[in-house]
Structure 1
Amino acid sequence: MSVLSENMRHLRGQQKYAQQKIADDLLITRGRYAKYEDGSSEPPIEILIRLSKYYRISIDLLVGLDLSKYSLEKMMKLPDNRTIFPITVDEKGENKIEIIPEKAQMGYLQGYSDPGYIEKLQTISLPFLRNGKFRAFPASGDSMPPFKNGTFIVGKYVENVSDLKSNKTYIFITQNEGVVYKRFKKKTSRNIMVSSDNPLYKPYDIKLAELVEIWEYACSINTAEFETETLDMMTVKDMFLSLKKEIDLIKKR
């Protein structure tokens, strides 16, 4: 049986409806409906649309995700009727946080809406992160000190761009750059301005049309301890930034 036929059987069982009732509601015969449910025939697009509206579930979920594994009440709706995030829990009832490894960062752009891709990711659970959907992304480069390569930034999913807070840090998933971790500065009608904490990098704009997902910083997980040299450099950096701010204030007077 296909994923779709299994889902049709599962959803009908949850409602405790007979095949005849579903068929009547879809305006087809029971025999035709039975073929779709047992997998001997595939429904045309107009029937898929009716099923989607009937159960209020997007078509991509109906045909691509085993719905028997998830609670529909614990799924988060996404804009544009995209795949929803199933908020899964471990045996202790804690949220499962998917981990996007370094090697899978570029693949995430192709797989973020593929339930099969997400299901294959490793997960962790953190008891202090609840009430939302969380995902962990690897930090890279030197634009956001003190996070070094190998650090994982855990983000909480943000549903609307209007929820962004000035000077807070976020993981932005974009069509062109992929996964970037930046500080949000401001929003215009077409863009958002972001900046790095490393002063060597200039702020820049991201087009709203290129934004795929936004994840607000929740916590970080270091996979290596800080070295003494690193801490010393951070102190020097803080002194440099403080001096730079004082010079800027003098120039404005």
Structure 2
Amino acid sequence: MGIFSDRLKWLREKNMYTQKDMAEALDVSQPYYGKFEKGTGEPNLETLVKLPKIFGESLDFICGITALDSRGKELMNEYCDLRHRTEDGKRRLTYSIELLEKTDIALDLENKLELIANQKSRINLLEDKFHRTYNKLVEHISSIPGMTAVINYATTEYLDLSYEEYRKEKSIREIM
């Protein structure tokens, strides 16, 4: 089976549709629809353009042009945002520690330690959420037909590239 057939079946099952439901929604016979999932038949253009509305996914995803479905994109955005916030929090903590060490602020040691502990606590909460989101994302990506190679071969590299794209877009938005 090809990626189109695999994703079509995956989306049908994920949405708890039967082949009969799909055939009716597409206005084709059930045996003809079954050929789409087996990879022995292809839908015509009129039938193909109905799929995004039925599943709420882009035709690019269904056909295997893009890697992530809408849920995967949501998780990827959450992952990138949490990663950015965690890294930013660590930079701020380092800066705060350096500033507290260099300045002669009228804070006693106890107050300085409390400030640092509070920042570390916030970072730990972000990191926990970041790791939970990472695990959800990897689990979700691994369920998408055509994405097994990404999981098995280059999960970290794939996520790093996605994060770098996120950072570039974020920088451009901040400039504007």
Please give the range of the TM-score, normalised by the shorter of the 2 chains.
0.3 to 0.5
Q: Which has the higher helix share?
A: 2
Q: Comparing both chains, which one has the higher relative contact order based on Cα–Cα distances under 8 Å and sequence gaps of 6 or more?
A: 2
Give the TM-score of the pair, scaled to structure 2: 0.48
Q: Which has the higher strand share?
A: 1
